Every structure is written in structure tokens, then in C-alpha cells.
Structure 1
Amino acid sequence: MTAPHPGATPPWQPAGTVYGVLLNFEHEYAQWLPRMHEAPYKAPPQAPVLYVKTANTWNPDGGAVALPAGASGLEVGATLGLVQDAQGQWAAALLNDFSLPHDSYFRPPVPYRCRDGFLGTPAALRPLASLAELATLRLSVHVNGDLRQTVDLGQLRRDAATLWADVNGFMTLRPGDVLMLGCDVAADGQRPRLQLGDTVELRAPGFAPLRHHVCAEEAHA
């Protein structure tokens, strides 16, 4: 990763807690719907299903993300994060919610989601007022220059405003907290998977591209 020039603006990092949400895209929800009726819950969730991306996961634009030895790959999670400051101003961050492949629906496993460097963060936020309507945005995932996935925010089960309100219905999001809108799956039910040496770039209208490359865990340590 290239060091910033002296006097350069440091890259943005979350000032609060980063929350992810599961099952917030129509295709992802439909994929898991049969299992929602299994024990112990036996019914679809009524409130947003959240998890936390801990501070050790934050990885600035241009950084390396480590693939553990023996892992079958690294899943890409293209998403937007909502942020509100102390003055009530809204902004969005283009984020890459990396995870290791796993098949757990009931409990997002921390060892697969919260490894060092597993949240790609941008150089800067974008004010919501400067962006088009979020429901019209599409995020694209490019691996080694090839388009691998398009994420349509019009397919959210809870749009940005509804998700923020529903989460605040049972917990208070504080200024600086980040609420991610969710990560979709492709038609085959999978997310793009990276291998050692791959470079992934996320793009979205109004945002600077977000790039990371995959290295071996030993080389990253």
C-alpha cells in the first residue's frame, strides 16, 4: 500500500461502529427463505438482522486483504454504508464487506467476517445530496478488470430510509456509526470469489473506485 504524501488528507475511517445487515436484497432473501422456517426460529425475521465489522477489519483504498492458507477464496461484498454526522448531515461510503465462504444463516460467524482487513473503506465519503436517488444506483464489481457482478439497490427489501428507521426502532445509531445496506448474491446464489493475486475494484456513479488486492496471509502479517 502506498503511503500518503506529506500533508495529504488522510483516508476516511469510520468514527463509530460499523453494522452490516443480512437478507436485505430480494434475491438473497429468497435464497434463504426455506431455511427460515427451520429450528430454532421457525419463521422469517421481523427486524433487520445485523452484525458488526470490528475496527481491525478497516482497510483503506488500495490496501491488501489477506487470504488465509487453505481458504477456498475470498468473497466480495459490494455495498453502501450510510453515515450521519453530529449536525444531522448524511453521507454514503462505498464499501467492500469481505468475508470467507461459509454456509451459516443463523449466526454470522465472526472468524469469517471480522478478520484483519476485511472491510474495504474509501478515501472519502460522498454527501447524499450530491448523489442520485439511491434506489437507482448500481454497484459493479470488477475482478482483474472483468465485470463480475452488478448490485442493483432498487432490489433492497428495506430501502435506506426504512432500514435506518427500523434499526433505530430497537437501538440508537449514534453520529459516526455506519449502517451498511447489505450485500447481494448473483443469480447462482454466490458472491464473486477472489483468489490469491486478484485485484477487485468496486464502482458506482458518483463515487471514486475502491480497489484492493489479495495477498497471502503470511505476506500480509
Structure 2
Amino acid sequence: MKHARIRFESQIHSVTVDADNIVHLRDGRSLGEDQVEWLPPANGTMFALGLNYADHAAELAFAPPTEPLVFVKSTGTYTGHNQITWRPDNVAYMHYECELVAVIGKPARNVKREDALSYLAGYTVCNDYAIRDFLENYYRPNLRVKNRDATTPVGPWIVDVADVPEPGNLKLRTWINGELRQEGSTKDMIFDIPYLIEYLSSFMTLQPGDMIATGTPEGLADVVPGDEVIVEVEGVGRLVNRIVSEADFFSARKEA
């Protein structure tokens, strides 16, 4: 089962989505994927992992971390499927990051690894864009790198845990304008999802709607205005996003 949040006829709806990506409203109406505005399917805090794939760490010439490198993203950074993201003016390098996201379904505190997946609502996908120009320290990315408005597409939906039996063995792919540019597997994670839930819940309470973005494999590339970027996690979803200039993005916001 897939669960999503959409805007339709100026109202926000919690909906289910079938295998053909038909959206089903609670009143019985069915809608096509292009008839709705897709919203991020969860709105809690996002805990994002840095350097959580061995091949990505090697790509950047870093030793794999021995403890999770976690940073927090604000809810203002989220945007939905088929929405736009902006590239700041006068930056040299902005890259995508295709990531599997675990969504918390109930309060989680001091959770043991073997029980961890029972605390999940399911899985979704995110594209954790980063502005490389502002990255002073890979082990401690500052706010300008990861917390700009509407620069983290999330969605399109949440897939039930039972429908993703092997979250540790899923293919991840990214396309720019139809060209495959990144391909990896969640089997290369350094810290897997049960470990991350146990780790985070050992010192804080995870709340329903919180998300754990589990990092990205090697294969990053620069993106510019006009690019269409598609990130996909096998068995979970395909998330489409388009890049516009800073001027065009904020002009569109004023007109909305």
C-alpha cells in the first residue's frame, strides 16, 4: 500500500495510491498522477546521514565514518514530487543525492535493533540537494549547504514496511534529463536502518512523521536551471524535480 498527501481543489488530502499510480480520495474519487499537486508525504524532522555509503566516502577521498554523521533538516526545505527546486545564483556546484528515507510511525525511544522496523510507518524517497560551494567540512555540513527553502524533494508517497522486504538491498538511480548518472545499492550503507533507529532513539525520542534520510552512493554531478532530475529507489518510488534559477523561483513564489 502507498500513502500520500496531495493538494486537490485547494484542499489537502491524505490518499492511497495504487500500483498504477492512480490516486484514490477518501470520498471514492480517483485521479491521475498529473491531476494533483504532490506534497511531502511526511512533515516531521529529517535526520540526514552524511557519508553513509562506503563508495561515496571513497569518491570524496574520506575514510568511512565509525559513528553516524547526522545533521537535521528543517521542514521548510521540503518540497514534493513534480515540483521545482532552485539553484542559487553564482554558485559553482550543486548536486543531487538520491536517498532511501525511513519514516517513523510511532514514538521511538531506546529501541533495540531487532525491534526497529516495527516503529516505521514505511519508506519514501528524497533528493537531498547540496550546494558544494558552501561545504566547509564534510563531517559537519553547515546550514547553507542543506537547509535552503524547497531544496529537498520528498515523496511521492510512503510505502508500507511489509511491501519493502529487503530495504538493505535496493537499487538507487538518478537521471539528469533522461541520462542515467548515478547507480548504487542500499547494501553499501555503512549504517543500516535498524542501526540508525537504535542509535538515534538511544538519546532522543523519534516522533511519528520524523524521517531518516540514509545517505547517497557515489556518482554525483552538477545540476543547473532547466535540468529535470529523477531519483528512484527500487520498490519505493520515483521522484521527479526540475531546477530553476533563483530569480525564477522567488518570482514564482511572489505570484503564487
Q: Indicate the TM-score class for this superposition, using the shorter chain for normalisation.
A: 0.7 to 0.9
How far off its partner does 1:63 sit?
0.9
Q: Deviations over 1:137-169 (max 9, x none)?
A: 011101101100012101011111112212222
Inter-CA distance 61–146: structure 2 relative to 1 (3 Å threshold): same
1:164 aligns with 2:197: yes
1:75 aligns with 2:95: yes
Maintained 8 Å contact 2:98/2:232: no
Gaps of 5+ in 2: 1-5, 15-38, 108-118, 251-256
How far off its partner does 1:45 sit?
5.1
**Corresponding position of 2:125:** 94
**Corresponding position of 2:174:** 141
Bigger shift: residues 14-23 or 83-92? 83-92
Sequence identity, in percent?
22
For normalisation by structure 1, the TM-score amounts to 0.84
1: CA distance, partners of 2:57 / 2:203: 22
For normalisation by structure 2, the TM-score amounts to 0.73
Q: Deviations over 1:113-146 (max 9, x none)?
A: 1111111111311112112401220111011011
Q: Deviations over 1:75-123 (max 9, x none)?
A: 1010011112138443011111011113522420111111111111113
> Out of 38, 53, 56, which is 1:25 matched to?
53
1:200 aligns with 2:233: no
Inter-CA distance 50–136: structure 2 relative to 1 (3 Å threshold): same
1: CA distance, partners of 2:91 / 2:244: 12
Bigger shift: residues 204-213 or 191-200? 204-213
Q: How many residue pairs get matched?
A: 207
Bigger shift: residues 132-141 or 163-172? 163-172
2: CA distance, partners of 1:89 / 1:50: 19
2: CA distance, partners of 1:98 / 1:215: 13
**Corresponding position of 2:8:** 5
**RMSD across aligned positions (CA):** 2.3
Within 5 Å, which residues of 2 pair with 1:154-193?
154-186=187-219, 191-193=220-222
2: CA distance, partners of 1:9 / 1:134: 28
Maintained 8 Å contact 1:12/1:125: no
2: CA distance, partners of 1:107 / 1:158: 18
Q: Which structure features the higher share of strand residues?
A: 2
2: CA distance, partners of 1:73 / 1:92: 29
> Out of 135, 142, 145, which is 1:109 matched to?
142
Gaps of 5+ in 1: 37-43
Maintained 8 Å contact 1:32/1:105: no
1: CA distance, partners of 2:12 / 2:139: 43
